[in-house]
Structure formats: C-alpha cells, structure tokens
A and B are shown apart, each in its own frame.
Chain A
Amino acid sequence: MGKVIVVTSGKGGVGKTTSSAALGAALAQNGDKVVVVDFDVGLRNLDLIMGAERRVVYDLVNVIQGEAKLTQALIRDKRVETLYLLPASQTRDKDNLTTEGVEKVIGALRTHFDWVICDSPAGIERGATLAMRHADIAIVVTNPEVSSVRDSDRIIGLLDSKTVKAENGERMEKHLLLTRYDPARAERGDMLKVDDVLEILSIPLLGIIPESMDVLRASNIGSPVTLADERSAPALAYFDAVRRLKGESLPVTIPGEKRGFFGKIFGRKAA
C-alpha cells in the first residue's frame, strides 16, 4: 500500500504545485513509483509544470464521473518512467469532485503506486478539503511571511479535524516545507526568521527551498526543478527534503548561511 501525501498551504502562489512536481519527480528519480494528482479543478497548472499539457486526454473528473478508466487518464512522464500525472479538469466545475469519487480514485492509486501526491488548490473550500481528506502525510508549504504563515496555521487546524485520519482519532503526520526563502532578504530582516515560523506553526521542518531563478526556468521549460537541473540549489533542497520524508535524519541547512564556520549543525526540531 502506498502513502498518500497532500501538498497544501491555504494561501495561493506559495509553491504548492512546484513542490508537488519537484518532490514527486525526486521520489521517482530514486526509483519509487509515484503519481502526482492535480486537485485544482478549473485552474490546473501541474500539467504545465510537468510538461505534459499536450498529452492530457482524460482527467480526474472524467475518472470520477465514470467517463474514463483510471489507466486512460494517467500520463506517464517521458523522462522518468516511474513518474505519473493525473491531471485536473480545466473546463469542469469543482463540484464534480465527489467525496465518494475521490475516495475511490485515491484508494485505487494507493494500491498501484508507492506515493500518491495530491496537489491541493489554494483556499479551504471543497477542492482543498477533498485533496487532504484521504492523506496519510501532509506537507504544508509556507513562505516566510505573515499571511502565508497564518493561512498555513489554519490549514493545520483543518488537517487535524477534517481528514479521515483525524475523524478516526489518529494523528496526521505533518511536515513544514519553507519555500521561496530569500537569503538576501533574510539578511536585511525583511522576512520572518525560520525559527519564528517554526515556533508559530510548531510542526517539524522538512526542508527550506531557496528562492531561485532555477525554479522559474524549470517551469518555463515544463520540467520539475529536480529534473531540469539536478545540481541547482532548489533541486538539492528538494532531494534532501525527500530523504527526510523517507525517514532519514538529515540536518536542515538554511540557504545562504555559512555552514561549518563554527562547526555548527542545524538539527532543527519544532517546538
């Protein structure tokens, strides 16, 4: 049985789709079988980021409504053969996502894949709550900035109340992925500090992804950043995040900080 991960944030534009694609690709590059599911019905983007926009025939809504089989809707990546995409519908309404339909699709994907990554839409409406509903693990994507942090806090509250796990009295495993971290702005004090974000959200840190042109460049060529340039700073940060996700205990480095100067190891834990 595979693990279901929801990549969520509450706020839009913080990097959910970029992170879903990058983490999915990084897991697949390690040989795991991965499917990334776009839940943003009506505003899909994941197909673009993964460079599959011209290959979409059927989508999630088609599968839920019984108009297509799951295997017909899944798109296999051309670069990594264990990476698949289940696109969202661009034309349908998000009300077409039914609780039972989503449960069936996620249940089926879980048996075929090692990882099912659900890319949540922004907001706390139907699409977002359905994306998180069947998750085993939540990755909360947050920018070091107050509005993003508060929205993430709201989402964590929902993860602890509106998911199948929460309703069964179990605890949802939650990780914080701090994205668009800008060392130069952090230096000037224009951004929330990593420790402040961790103190407010009090969930463990999965990784810090630096703000980088590489991310923009990768999405322009329709490639997850971990595939576009494996040696770029954001790609390395995503690879590290994946190792932590798989249970490795790896110290988190803050981008731009001189490591090893005091022989300092940033083994960070949430409060």
Chain B
Amino acid sequence: MTAVLTQPRPIRLKGRSYLALTLTPELPFEDWLVRLDDLAGRSAGFFLRRPVVLDVEGLEIDRAQLRDLVGKLGTRNVRIMGIEGARPSMLGSDLPPAMSGGKATGDIEEPIAAPVKEPPAPAAVESVAEMPAAPLPTTGAPASLVVTQPVRSGQSLFSEGDITIIGSVASGAEVIAGGSIHIYGTLRGRAMAGTLGNAAARIFCRKLEAEMVAIDGFYKTAEDLESTLRGKPVQFWLEGETFTAGSLT
C-alpha cells in the first residue's frame, strides 16, 4: 500500500533547549536520599512533573546501582528524563537517555523560602508548569565553532552558535548550528542552521553540492534546489517563511 501525501507542507524539525533541574546524587545514596526526602518533605510536590536530569558524573557506580537509584527516585515521584555523565555501558533501553552539553544556569532556589504559601492542589500544576519556563540563560552569544579540517562522511557537528568550516563537508556528513553556517569549501552533505529557532540564520558555502539544507526547520533537499546554483558559491536565508537561495557571485 502506498500512502499518498496530500499535504504538501513538509514536517518541521527543530532543536530546542529547555530548562531542567539537575540532581547530583552523592554516595552513599541512602544518606543522600534521606536528605532529599527531607527537602521534599518541607516542600511537597517540588519535583512533581518537573523535568529532572540526573548528573552522575564522577560517581563510581554500576548499572544496577543506577537503575536502583532511578527506581527509588521514581517512588518519590521524581521522574528522571535524562542522565548526564554516565558511561554508555551504564545506560540501557530501560534507563532514561544520556544527555550532554548542558550549561549551568545557577542553582534553583528551594521553595523553602515561602513554605506557607503552598498553593492549593489545582493551582499547583499551573505554578509548576510555569517554573521551568524561565528564560534561557543570556550569558552573551553562544560560542561559535571553527573547524579547520574537512567534515567526513558519517560525522556530525553541532554548535549552539555559528559554525565555520575551513574545508569541505562530505556527502553523508551533517552540520547543525543554532546560528549560521559558513563553509569555505564544498558542501556535499547536510547543513542545518538556526535550529534553535533562529530564523535570521544563514548558510554560506563556496561550492554547493548539498544533499539537504535547512534553516529554522524549513528545508530543501538536493532535488528541490535550483540546478543553476549547483557548483556555485551560494547562500541561503529565510524571507518570512520562504526558503531563499542566492548566488554569492
């Protein structure tokens, strides 16, 4: 059976960062859990429905211990959405996925400061949902990445800022940036710019042979690209919701 695509609108794929709480357990876990219970006891529902990441960096524990800890947190209504700093061997399909590249946004205050103002049950959901919506840290522009080697097939580069590549991007390689992408070579693979929701991002390359280019979720595959641009220096940008390409010569 063949599915007929009636919707010409393509699916938009985007990357996005969210604010999550990070718990850093300490050994022995029993003592640490007692302290956690103490905190939770003073502020009921603090972890309820919050996205929580478990940071186990530097802890000498094995998979069973990790699974046990996640389970024990689960019984306390702390749902772990991801694990940071774990060796790949420690993670399996039964554990939350590995997370990396997180940035500190300072300590989240314990709600102990206002224990009296415990919101009533229905409002609790509301306030908890509001909390993680705090703006992303604005510690200046995200760092840009400069690569002085060719990006080989099968490799994937990611930066929240701009990416500059002095060399070519091979067929089957991908470059994903929160900002713009500059390629001083041939783009044969995929380039995705503005993936964190930056519609002003652009893609530049010295020679266009791309498999796919995308800005802020709008994309074009090699087939959709104008054949006159092939092999030329080209830039891509968004004009409103229109994916635009122009020769750089």
**A residues whose Cβ falls under 8 Å from a Cβ of B:** 146, 150-151, 153-154, 156-158, 160, 199-200, 202
Chain B 128-168 interface 0/1 with A at a Cβ cutoff of 8 Å (1 = within): 00000000000000000000011011110000000000011
Closest 7 CB pairs of A and B: A157-B152, A153-B153, A154-B153, A154-B154, A153-B170, A153-B152, A157-B155
Chain B 28-62 interface 0/1 with A at a Cβ cutoff of 8 Å (1 = within): 00000000000000000000000000000000000
**A199 with B186: CB separation less than 8 A:** yes
When distances are taken between beta carbons in the complex, the residues of chain B under 8 Å from A153 are 152-154, 170-173
From the candidates B150, B152, B167, B186, name the one contacting A154 in the complex (CB within 8 A): B152
Bound-state Cα–Cα, A154 to B149, Å:
14
Is B202 engaged at the interface, CB distance under 8 Å to the other chain? no
Is B188 engaged at the interface, CB distance under 8 Å to the other chain? yes
Bound-state Cα–Cα, A200 to B209, Å:
11
Q: How large is the interface on B (under 10, 10 to 19, 20 to 34, 35 or more residues)?
A: 10 to 19
When distances are taken between beta carbons in the complex, the residues of chain B under 8 Å from A156 are 152
**B186 with A157: CB separation less than 8 A:** no
From the candidates B153, B154, B168, B173, name the one contacting A202 in the complex (CB within 8 A): B168
Of the candidates A151, A160, A200, the one having the most CB atoms from chain B within 10 angstroms of its own CB is A200
From the candidates B149, B167, B172, name the one contacting A150 in the complex (CB within 8 A): B172
From the candidates B149, B155, B170, name the one contacting A200 in the complex (CB within 8 A): B170
Q: Give the secondary structure class of B's interface.
A: loop
Minimal beta-carbon separation of B79 from chain A (angstroms): 35
**A150 with B170: CB separation less than 8 A:** yes
Bound-state Cα–Cα, A157 to B154, Å:
8
**A154 with B172: CB separation less than 8 A:** yes
Bound-state Cα–Cα, A153 to B154, Å:
8
**A157 with B153: CB separation less than 8 A:** yes
**A200 with B152: CB separation less than 8 A:** no
Bound-state Cα–Cα, A158 to B168, Å:
17
**B168 with A200: CB separation less than 8 A:** yes
Closest residue of B by beta carbon distance from A156: B152
Bound-state Cα–Cα, A153 to B153, Å:
6
When distances are taken between beta carbons in the complex, the residues of chain A under 8 Å from B154 are 153-154, 157-158
**A150 with B153: CB separation less than 8 A:** yes
> Could you name 21 residue pairs across A and B whose Cβ atoms are closer than 8 Å?
A146-B171, A150-B171, A151-B153, A153-B152, A153-B153, A153-B154, A153-B170, A153-B171, A153-B172, A154-B152, A154-B154, A154-B172, A156-B152, A157-B152, A160-B149, A199-B168, A200-B168, A200-B170, A202-B150, A202-B167, A202-B168
Bound-state Cα–Cα, A160 to B149, Å:
11
When distances are taken between beta carbons in the complex, the residues of chain A under 8 Å from B186 are 199-200
When distances are taken between beta carbons in the complex, the residues of chain A under 8 Å from B170 are 150, 153, 200
Bound-state Cα–Cα, A202 to B188, Å:
14
When distances are taken between beta carbons in the complex, the residues of chain B under 8 Å from A202 are 150, 167-168
Bound-state Cα–Cα, A80 to B188, Å:
45
Bound-state Cα–Cα, A200 to B173, Å:
12
Bound-state Cα–Cα, A146 to B171, Å:
10
When distances are taken between beta carbons in the complex, the residues of chain A under 8 Å from B153 are 150-151, 153-154, 157
Minimal beta-carbon separation of B233 from chain A (angstroms): 15
Bound-state Cα–Cα, A146 to B188, Å:
12
Closest residue of B by beta carbon distance from A10: B153
When distances are taken between beta carbons in the complex, the residues of chain A under 8 Å from B171 are 146, 150, 153
Closest residue of B by beta carbon distance from A157: B152
Closest residue of B by beta carbon distance from A152: B153
**B152 with A160: CB separation less than 8 A:** yes
Closest residue of A by beta carbon distance from B154: A154
Bound-state Cα–Cα, A150 to B169, Å:
11
Closest residue of A by beta carbon distance from B155: A157
Bound-state Cα–Cα, A156 to B150, Å:
10
When distances are taken between beta carbons in the complex, the residues of chain A under 8 Å from B172 are 150, 153-154
When distances are taken between beta carbons in the complex, the residues of chain B under 8 Å from A157 are 152-155, 173
Of the candidates B149, B150, B167, B186, the one having the most CB atoms from chain A within 10 angstroms of its own CB is B150
Minimal beta-carbon separation of B232 from chain A (angstroms): 16
Bound-state Cα–Cα, A200 to B154, Å:
14
Bound-state Cα–Cα, A150 to B168, Å:
13
